[in-house]
Amino acid sequence: MEFWDILVYAAWSASAIMLVWMVVDAFMISSQYDEEYLMSSREGGEDDVVHGTHLEEGNV
Amino acid sequence: MATEKITSVGNKPIAMLKVLNPFHIWALGVGIVLVGEFMGWNFTVGKGGAYASLIACWVIGLLYTCVAMIDSEVTSTVAAAGGQYTQAKHIVGPLMAFNVGLYLVMAYTMLCAADALVVGDLMKSGAEVMGYANLDTKPFVVLTVAFLAWLNYRGVFATLTLNLVITFLAFLSLIVLFFAVDPLNQGVVLQHAGLLTDLPYGWIGVIASLQFGMWYYLGIEGTCQAAEEVRSAGRSIPLGTMGGIMTLLVAATITWFVATGLMPWQYLGQAVTPMYDAATLLGSTQLQLMLFIATAFAATASANGCINDASRAWFSLARDRYMPVFFGAIHPKYRTPYRSVLFLVPIAVSFAFTGLLDQVITFSILSGLLGYTFMTFNMIKFRKMWPLGTIHRGYIHPFHPIPAITLLTLCCATYFATFLGYGASLLSIMAFYILASVWFVLRRYKFVKRADQFTMPWPRPKGY
């Protein structure tokens, strides 16, 4: 078996390992955390101070 | 036995990490684009000759300078992921926002697929040089997408730090190539006097070249997608974006100067890897190797940035329920939109497996162009709704509304150029977005919680 043949198998294997790792991790997160918490992010993130500096008049 | 699920951490909503600085923003914008300097830009030469390519380089450079200025101003006030999608949502309305979000996802996913194809082709070329013919490119295409998705999944800081390193090295290789051709002594290495001809297809060739001129800069607008993850959006986004467009203007001009001084336009206009060919012509193995590695770095950086941007755009659409809300989740450890990253992997790989590089790129370019067209209306409306002084801006672009009008004019010229070369693609892509809009209005918008889309405490717009 040539070097390039081995490289092809290595590429397939490494891809499979990384993809499986991500899928398994995603399932584990879903089983450990409440969906509402995972999807609780708000536009602009948690740092409201960043946006607070934008307010000059007519705050909603 | 059922295990209790974690419902909150510190009584705060989950959020992406604010860890990026202006250098990361530069790396995101330039990283997506720079592969266009190594290949693709030269099709402008095929359309209208070397001078047409230079005109396209600077005219489209002006288009993207307008894009960068407008983006910098609007994004410096909208510190949210989604970039132009979020801008459209706040300034124009949901239908426009949906379309812009879709342009972004399609443009970046397709570009990622094209970049992965390039990496696969480079591996094949490398194998051929080393005496192994017919290397299967598919495993390397999948590996590129899988590795970069894995990196994006595990955190934005490492992802964009990698982009910073490999983008800088790729840019440096262009500078090294520039000095290697002895640019101050014409006729020694560079042969512009003999190689530069008049416009072989006249001015219509110049117009036609505008479409491929976008390769010089396509993707710089992606800097906005990181707005929710930078430490200071008002400072970092304008610095990174404007620094990025300046870098690209220099890189594009160097690229044109070196390549057109070494190769006749008839060859250059159809070359697959023109900068590698330029290094080959110089007869230096070190330069050849450097350009080979730099091309691979540029393609990898581009794919990496595209996964980052496409996932943020998809995530933002989902967070607002424009797409299934399932994809609006953030990883509690890595603080990335992990489901969106994962979702886009099979799509990018599927596009790449079609092997239709030119069609994939055309779809990507047209989606980008539609986005730039929207930005002109967006900017005019933004300044009317929130005039200067009513909202803090990290950057104020000069001469408004001239950049917006210039951008619209140049977009129209580029649509015409695209119609000349890819009329059927242009019409089918338009039809795709019209059908998607109908689906959104009739079937999807009913799921959107209208008030929940606007959580940023902006001041009330003028006249409301």
| Residues ≥6 apart with Cβ < 8 Å to B51 | B196, B197, B198, B199, B206
User: Which tokens is B246 given?
Assistant: 């300046």
What's the pLDDT score for residue A47?
Answer: 52
Tell whether the model's pLDDT for residue A53 goes beyond 90: no
**Residue pair B257/B246 in contact by the 8 Å Cβ criterion:** no
**Domain contains A25:** yes
**Domain contains B194:** yes
**Domain contains A48:** no
For chains A and B, CB pairs below 8 A equal 157
What's the pLDDT score for residue B449?
Answer: 78
**Residue pair B365/B418 in contact by the 8 Å Cβ criterion:** yes
d(CA A19, nearest CA chain B) in Å: 6
CA dist., res. B115 & res. B302, Å (int): 7
Backbone φ/ψ region at B198: left (φ over 0), alpha (ψ -120 to 50), beta = beta
Q: Which residues pair with A55 in a beta bridge?
A: B391
A-chain residue closest to B86, CA distance:
A43
**Domain contains A29:** yes
> Is the CB of B345 less than 8 angstroms away from the CB of A19?
yes
Domain count, chain B: 1
CA angle at residue B38 from B50 to B51, to 5 degrees?
10
d(CA B440, nearest CA chain A) in Å: 21
What's the pLDDT score for residue A54?
Answer: 39
CA end-to-end distance (rounded Å), chain B: 55
Q: Which residues of B touch A38 (CB under 8 A)?
A: 14, 329-330, 332
Backbone φ/ψ region at B393: left (φ over 0), alpha (ψ -120 to 50), beta = beta
**Domain contains B64:** yes
pTM of the model: 0.93
What's the pLDDT score for residue B360?
Answer: 77
Quote the domain boundaries for residue B184: 22-451
Tell whether the model's pLDDT for residue A50 goes beyond 50: no
Question: What are the 10-residue block averages of pLDDT along chain B, 464 residues in total?
Answer: 73 91 97 94 95 97 97 90 91 92 93 93 91 93 98 97 98 97 94 93 96 94 95 93 97 97 96 92 94 96 97 96 95 97 96 80 86 93 92 92 97 93 89 95 88 74 78
A-chain residue closest to B143, CA distance:
A15
Q: Which residues of B touch A4 (CB under 8 A)?
A: 127, 132, 135
**Domain contains B462:** no
d(CA A47, nearest CA chain B) in Å: 9
3-state DSSP assignment of residue B154: helix
Domain count, chain A: 1
> Is the CB of B16 less than 8 angstroms away from the CB of A15?
no
What's the pLDDT score for residue A60?
Answer: 29
**Domain contains B283:** yes
Quote the domain boundaries for residue A29: 1-35
What's the pLDDT score for residue B464?
Answer: 73
Per-residue confidence at A52, pLDDT binned at 50, 70, 90?
very low
CATH number at residue B408: 1.20.1740.10
> Higher confidence at residue B428 or residue A16?
A16
What's the pLDDT score for residue A57?
Answer: 37
**Domain contains B464:** no
